[in-house]
């Protein structure tokens, strides 16, 4: 199986005066072709450097799913003629509304979408992969809860927890109105419409995922709606996850009924090709100024860069 050091050697072999750290682009794009040749499906890539501590600190607005990503997805889908496609995704999530727009772009073009996750696809990125017909994950990959996070002053809180706080306050104050002075400072943190907004945010996440699962992953199945509701309810319930960053892996998803293939159960050639793909993408995000990659195996490219210091790869630290 290909190692991090192997990919590093490939990259360093392409060092030139204008590429002092090596030829990240050629190596990475070779891996796209390799995977596509094995699967006989075009490959789309959407990956951001949210795992990188410097970029996470300096480029956070660029790392999330937002409406500007529509341009990237349009660019990498417009020259694909196949109705079946693989989508490699590595993302912390972002806007549910932007995710809905991206799903529209993908589903207007493709009938069969398989999402490949070898790292993380969290929050709204989890919502995005729920619009697929199937997932392909390795054992280290993870999705996450899709319970909406709402900004209250200088921090984000789960919409469900805010809703629970209101309910708890109502019960306590009905039983003992003398507790009002204790609750006033807490309730003053919340805007008047916040409770309704929280309900709407939760319903949006749940409704989108139910609709996508019913229409695509469970298309034609008699109990499609029931399966979709079970999965969406689990993913949006912060009382189950207890943390928005909580890991949800392939085994958990299979138990829920999500259609997931394990990479470790596939042909060794495909396993190694996707391993190379993962390492080449991570190397680019770690060792260049790239913060967001949109590419495909057919040559379409859109890479967003920021002015952060390039960090050479350190194989011994991986």
Q: DSSP for 250-317, please give it.
A: HHHHHHHT--EEEGGGS-HHHHHHHHHHHHHHHHHHHHSSEEEEEEETTS-EEEEE---------GGG
For the stretch 67-109, pLDDT in tens is 999 999 999 999 999 999 999 999 998 889 999 999 999 999 9
| Confidence tier at 116 by pLDDT (50, 70, 90) | very high
Whether residue 189 has pLDDT greater than 90: no
SS percent in the chain: helix, strand, coil, step 5: 50, 20, 30
Lowest model confidence (mean pLDDT) among 120-124, 137-141, 184-188: 184-188
Mean pLDDT over 210-226 rounds to 96
At 86, give phi and psi (nearest 5°). Answer: -105, 145
pLDDT at position 244, please?
A: 64
Q: Would you place residue 315 in the very low, low, confident or very high pLDDT band (cuts 50, 70, 90)? A: very low
Q: What is the mean pLDDT of residues 34-47?
A: 97
Q: Is the pLDDT of residue 233 over 70?
A: yes
Mean pLDDT (the chain) is: 85
Mean pLDDT across the stretch 118-140?
A: 96
pLDDT digits (tens, 9 = 90+) for 51-71: 888 887 877 778 989 999 999
pLDDT at position 154: 63
Lowest mean pLDDT among 161-165, 259-263, 270-274: 161-165
- Is beta strand 301-305 parallel, antiparallel or unpaired with respect to 290-296? antiparallel
Structure-model confidence comparison of residues 155 and 216, the more confident one: 216
Report the chain's terminal Cα–Cα distance, integer Å: 16
Kind and range of the H or E run holding 181: helix 180-187
Query: What pTM value is reported for the model?
Result: 0.85
Which of these, 231, 225, 172, lies nearest to 206 by C-alpha position? 231
């Amino acid at each position: 199986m290909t190692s991090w050091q192997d990919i590093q050697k490939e990259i360093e072999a392409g060092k030139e005066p204008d590429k002092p750290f090596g030829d990240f682009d050629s190596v990475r794009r070779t891996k796209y072709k390799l995977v596509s040749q094995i699967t006989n499906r075009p490959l789309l890539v959407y990956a951001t450097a949210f795992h990188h501590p410097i970029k996470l600190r300096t480029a956070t607005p660029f790392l999330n799913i937002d409406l500007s990503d529509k341009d990237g997805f349009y660019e990498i889908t417009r020259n694909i003629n196949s109705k079946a496609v693989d989508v490699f995704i590595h993302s912390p999530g972002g806007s549910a509304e932007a995710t809905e727009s991206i799903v529209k772009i993908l589903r207007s073009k493709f009938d069969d979408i398989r999402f490949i996750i070898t790292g993380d696809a969290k929050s709204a990125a989890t919502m995005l992969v729920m619009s697929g017909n199937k997932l392909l994950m390795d054992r280290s990959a993870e999705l996450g809860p899709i319970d909406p996070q709402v900004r209250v002053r200088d921090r984000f809180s789960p919409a469900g927890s805010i809703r629970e706080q209101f309910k708890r306050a109502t019960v306590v104050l009905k039983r003992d109105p003398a507790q009002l002075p204790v609750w006033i400072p807490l309730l003053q943190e919340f805007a008047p419409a916040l409770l309704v907004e929280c309900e709407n945010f939760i319903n949006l996440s749940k409704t989108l995922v139910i609709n996508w699962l019913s229409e695509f992953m469970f298309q034609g199945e008699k109990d499609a709606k029931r399966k979709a509701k079970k999965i969406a309810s689990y993913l949006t319930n912060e009382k189950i996850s207890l943390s928005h960053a909580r890991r949800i892996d392939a085994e958990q998803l299979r138990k829920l009924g999500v259609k997931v293939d394990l990479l470790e159960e596939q042909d060794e050639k495909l396993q190694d090709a996707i391993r190379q793909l993962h390492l080449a993408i991570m190397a680019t995000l770690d060792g260049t100024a790239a913060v967001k990659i949109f590419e495909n195996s057919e040559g379409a490219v859109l890479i967003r860069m920021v002015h952060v210091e390039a960090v050479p790869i350190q194989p011994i630290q991986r």
